[in-house]
Structure 1
Amino acid sequence: MRLPSHLLRFGLAFAALGVAFLGALLVLADQSAGWALIGVGVPLSGVLALAGDALGSEFSSTLQARTRQLISETRPWMWLIALYAVLHVPVPLWPEGFGVLGLASTAALFVGALLYAAERVGWGRSWLMALLACGLGLSAEVIGTRTGFPFGIYSYATAPDPLVLGVPLMVPLGWFALTLAGLLLSGGRAWLAGLLLALWDVGLEPLMTAQRYWLWSDPNPIWAGAPLQNFLGWWAVGGGISWVITRVGPEVLQARKGEAQINFAVAYPIEAFFLPGGLVLVGRYLEAAVTLLAMLLGLALARLVRRRG
């Protein structure tokens, strides 16, 4: 069975990013050859994302044609998505900067989500859905750290600044941006968007606790200190925020006429690549494998549900 062209392109692009990631690991091990792998892998990923399905005699012409098309169709939010992805790359080379890079990449994704929504529903409703999503996510976190509901017993006591009501700023920003990505990926189904967020959190828990963004003290842990209640809470909160977004601006789910096939949902597969990679960097190999499997299953489920209508 032949893979769809876009899956082949992005699969090859992520493989090239894997080469760059391997190079970063070599650099961390004081192997200078790693820089060569980074130098080859990063630009190669972009080339393969454009024309990886046309390897052969038509590669050059396809690459040129799609590059021209990309330039003509690139929207501002796409540059923010690209910045979001690029800001993940230096993490292996600057582990101490995890907090700075994490906040910067999440902020870029938030602004990208805001721009994407604004193109479809206007600035007023775009800001409204962003404020509601961030507000609901922040409220759930504030209540959660004080009462143990809806996620379980945890604390942000060791989280780095900046904080909002004791919660890292990147958390409410992420609630809006990643929920929008999940909602688009799910075809507007709030229940599925919530599930995609819960599957994303499978990787987030071991990584962020390793970085001491939050600490668990729940008496019923099942994964990286988090209880089952946490993942049900993510499903519920993510689904609730998704429902709110669809009520404020249902047009956000619609493609604009003449627009490129790519939409903001691409943020989710980007996370499916970088999140397991981050876990590998902190020595959580089992968690990395489980995270990759969970997010790939989420992507497959979303595709199946969309195809069945």
Structure 2
Amino acid sequence: MLKTIGTQPQTHSRSKYKKYGLPLAIAVLVIFHAVGLWGLLFSGDPEYFQNLTPMNLLLTNALLFSFHKSWNKDFILFAIFVFAVGFFSEVVGVHTGLLFGDYTYGEALGLKVWEVPVLIGLNWLMLVYTTGHISNYTGWHWIAKAIFGAGLMVLLDFFIEPVAMQYDFWSWSGNTVPFTNYVGWFMIALVLQLYFHKSDFKRQNRLAPMVYLVQLLFFVVLFLFII
């Protein structure tokens, strides 16, 4: 009895402060991206801020997956698979021109293996995971959810592409983004979205939709300043 009574204040305290976790994470996410946006557009030293891109990506993923509720075997396998497929798709793309078109990576995304930044795999995981959560809210058939999620990924990529060329993320031959890029993105994203919706783990991450929306807003604003 004493033990039970003694743990009640601690449980109450944890639940009291837990409700602040999501608003705090959203605030950090928004502030960090807002600072990055200001730095790239108005600081006068955009190169300094574009070199912070790897840290931004790592922070965003740390916040995102801190709200994931089901670290079971199925989720671990999903995460490894998506990371690997995303990364090696880019390796094939860079070295052959297949899948996406003729492009090369710059230096802004950090350490590269086989001429592809390692963090690209993490970026694929983040995008599949966040768009998968958004599409899961629709209540549609799982195949329709996967198609919608893949479409959301292509929508974001549309705004990312000009920004990527401007800030040394990657560059396209002839400075033109080929239509094959969007086709390749959609097809690979669709396969990964199908896997997301058939995997046996909880899809209840409350931060996931906000991560996608903040990323979309970030790149839309940069896109509008570039065009």
TM-score class, shorter: 0.7 to 0.9
Paired residues for 1:244-259 under 5 Å: 244-249=195-200, 251-254=201-204
Q: Per the alignment, do residues 166 and 182 of structure 1 end up closer, same or farther by CA in structure 2, a change over 3 Å counting?
A: same
What amino acid maps onto 1:253 in structure 2? Answer: R
Select which of 118, 124, 133 maps to 1:169: 118
Quote how far apart the aligned CAs of 1:72 are: 3.7
Quote how far apart the aligned CAs of 1:273 are: 1.7
Q: Distance in 2 between matches of 1:276 and 1:70?
A: 37
Are the aligned partners of 1:198 and 1:235 in contact in 2 as well (CA < 8 Å)? yes
What amino acid maps onto 1:209 in structure 2? Answer: M
Select which of 125, 129, 133 maps to 2:78: 129
Match of 2:177 in 1: 226
Structure 2 residue 217 is the aligned partner of structure 1 residue 273: yes
Are the aligned partners of 1:85 and 1:105 in contact in 2 as well (CA < 8 Å)? no
Quote how far apart the aligned CAs of 1:263 are: 4.0
Are the aligned partners of 2:103 and 2:170 in contact in 1 as well (CA < 8 Å)? yes
Are the aligned partners of 1:85 and 1:270 in contact in 2 as well (CA < 8 Å)? yes
Runs of 5+ in structure 1 lacking a partner?
A: 1-68, 219-223, 256-261, 287-309
Quote how far apart the aligned CAs of 1:113 are: 3.5
Q: Distance in 2 between matches of 1:271 and 1:244?
A: 23
Q: Per the alignment, do residues 171 and 78 of structure 1 end up closer, same or farther by CA in structure 2, a change over 3 Å counting?
A: farther
Paired residues for 1:67-106 under 5 Å: 71-75=17-21, 80-91=25-36, 92=39, 93=43, 95-106=46-57
Select which of 165, 168, 172 maps to 1:212: 168
Match of 2:186 in 1: 235
Q: Per the alignment, do residues 81 and 131 of structure 1 end up closer, same or farther by CA in structure 2, a change over 3 Å counting?
A: farther
Runs of 5+ in structure 2 lacking a partner?
A: 1-14, 137-141
Are the aligned partners of 2:147 and 2:190 in contact in 1 as well (CA < 8 Å)? yes
Are the aligned partners of 1:113 and 1:180 in contact in 2 as well (CA < 8 Å)? no
Write out per-residue CA displacement over residues 100-144 of structure 1, whole angstroms, 9 at most, x where no aligned residue: 332122112222343333x1x225433322221111100110001
State the identity as a percent: 21
Are the aligned partners of 2:104 and 2:171 in contact in 1 as well (CA < 8 Å)? yes
With the length of structure 2 as denominator, give the TM-score of the two structures.
0.76
Q: Per the alignment, do residues 129 and 85 of structure 1 end up closer, same or farther by CA in structure 2, a change over 3 Å counting?
A: farther
Bigger relative contact order (CA 8 A; separation at least 6): 2
Partner-residue secondary structure (3-state), 1:279: helix
Q: CA RMSD in A?
A: 2.6
Q: Distance in 1 between matches of 2:27 and 2:77?
A: 25
What amino acid maps onto 1:271 in structure 2? Answer: Q
Q: Distance in 2 between matches of 1:197 and 1:253?
A: 18
Q: Per the alignment, do residues 264 and 155 of structure 1 end up closer, same or farther by CA in structure 2, a change over 3 Å counting?
A: same
Match of 1:178 in 2: 127
Write out per-residue CA displacement over residues 181-209 of structure 1, whole angstroms, 9 at most, x where no aligned residue: 11111126111111111010111100011
Are the aligned partners of 1:141 and 1:167 in contact in 2 as well (CA < 8 Å)? yes
Are the aligned partners of 2:101 and 2:178 in contact in 1 as well (CA < 8 Å)? yes
Quote how far apart the aligned CAs of 1:210 are: 0.7
Q: Per the alignment, do residues 269 and 96 of structure 1 end up closer, same or farther by CA in structure 2, a change over 3 Å counting?
A: same
Quote how far apart the aligned CAs of 1:90 are: 2.2
Partner-residue secondary structure (3-state), 1:89: helix
Match of 1:159 in 2: 107
With the length of structure 1 as denominator, give the TM-score of the two structures.
0.57
Please, which moves more after superposition, 84-93 or 135-144?
84-93
Match of 1:42 in 2: none
Partner-residue secondary structure (3-state), 1:253: coil
